[in-house]
Chains A and B, each alone.
Chain A
Amino acid sequence: MSEAYFPVASGALGPEENFLSLDDILTSQEKLPVRTETALPRLGAFFVERGAGAEPDSALPQGSKLELPLWLAKGLFDNKRRILSVELPKIYQEGWRTVFSADANVVDLHKMGPHFYGFGSQLLHFDSPENVDISQSLLQTFIGRFRRIMDSSQNAYNEDTSALVSRLDEMERGLFQTGQKGLNDFQCWEKGQASQITASSLVQNYKKRKFTVMED
């Protein structure tokens, strides 16, 4: 990673997402199935496939099922649940929770929604009765998988790691990369290269790109 670029870190695992974090923006763009509890005026035109009229003023009827991005669902959700009710995505429901508790390592979390932990943590905002179980499941899944991530990141030196990271979600990949960086820095120090001035990786990458542009 470029040494001078410090992107804003994700806050999705905490109480609120970080406004300026790239990861959080992508996490909250993921869709969530919801049901409208009241009629939403003037939105009928946006969701024509729900059977509402196509005129701009038609309302979206109560009880329609939609898929909204997380940020929108959070904004419209109200404690008294007048506007929306949220359905938990399959992966956070009872069935999958059992799978995770059996063996968390076999699941391909990248396919299940690349931001499994972040999205799951933000899902707790919707006051579902299963919140306690969901948070336990998230935690236990992470604990179950962590050992393998740590081991593989500390022992894969100078090799192709794509097979190791293919089933990890984005947060786990970040952890893996941090582990790799630590390993590489240590090896570099052991070889006595720590004091060697190097071309910044940014520079090297730009050079490579320039090469391909010229070849086109």
Chain B
Amino acid sequence: MFCEKAVELIRELHRAPDGQLPAFNEDGIRQVLEEMKALYEQNQSDVLPSGGSHPLPPYALLVRCSLFVLFFFLRYDRLLRIRALRWEYGSILPSTIQFHMSAEEMEWFNHYKKSLATYMRSLGGDEGLDITQDMKPPKSLYIEVRCLKDYGEFEVDDGTSILLKKNSQHFLPRWKCEQLIRQGVLEHVLS
């Protein structure tokens, strides 16, 4: 009655540590929507017969307004987390995360990816500028990396390919490795 269900969903979000995205609680959202609908209909029947101004602010209206807020927030905060995923994970999300998103959220993610890509292409002249790279100021062009798990073949700029096996170390150009380091495949080794 005091939007407990909706608040429960919000607490779920609050509990997810570090901005992670919990699974999309389809049942929960549906229940909240039904509660909103029921209150709206109840409110309609309250307002219509009396006609003129109601002496008290309709209580059900207040409850419904907060349900709207909570509902909107659920969507909004999830979108903030999904946006963070693009910056931290890259443009392809692993299936475990995709599993946690609803179809509309996936669509939103694709739109965001496209907007970001269009923007990046428009910067820095003909080639565009990848602003998701170099998140920390680079100190050198080439870096030493160690492989954390088996990844397979990896092609370098001059055409040679390198086999990334667990615990192998390589000296590679920074821009090629950055993505893999952020995804946890490689580890940046400081000498």
Contacts and interface: CB of A to CB of B under 8 A. Distances in A.
Interface string A21-39: 0100110010000000010
Interface residues of A, number: 46
A180 to B, nearest CB: 13
A33 to B, nearest CB: 14
Contacts of A71: 66
A4 B21 CA distance: 13
B30 interface: no
Interface in A191-212: 192-207, 209-210
Contacts of B87: 3-4
B88 A202 contact: yes
A25 B88 contact: no
Nearest to A75: B62
Q: For chain B, what secondary structure do more than half of its interface residues adopt (helix, strand, loop), or is it mixed?
A: helix
Contacts of A1: 18-19
A46 B1 contact: yes
Interface in B56-99: 56-57, 59, 62-63, 65-66, 69-70, 72-73, 76-77, 80-81, 83-89, 94, 96-97
B83 A4 contact: yes
A202 B56 contact: no
Contacts of B83: 4
Contacts of A19: 69, 73
Contacts of A46: 1
Nearest to B70: A25
Contact of A205 (B18, B135, B182): B18
Interface stretch (B7-15, B103-111, B123-131, B159-167): B7-15
Interface residues of B, number: 53
Contact of A41 (B56, B84, B94): B56
Nearest to A38: B56
Given A25-B70, A207-B184, A2 B11 contact: no
Nearest to B81: A5
A165 interface: no
A124 interface: no
A2 B56 contact: no
A89 to B, nearest CB: 17
Contacts of B143: 197
A26 B10 contact: yes
A13 interface: no
A46 B139 CA distance: 66
Contacts of A40: 56, 59
A4 B88 contact: yes
A199 B183 contact: yes
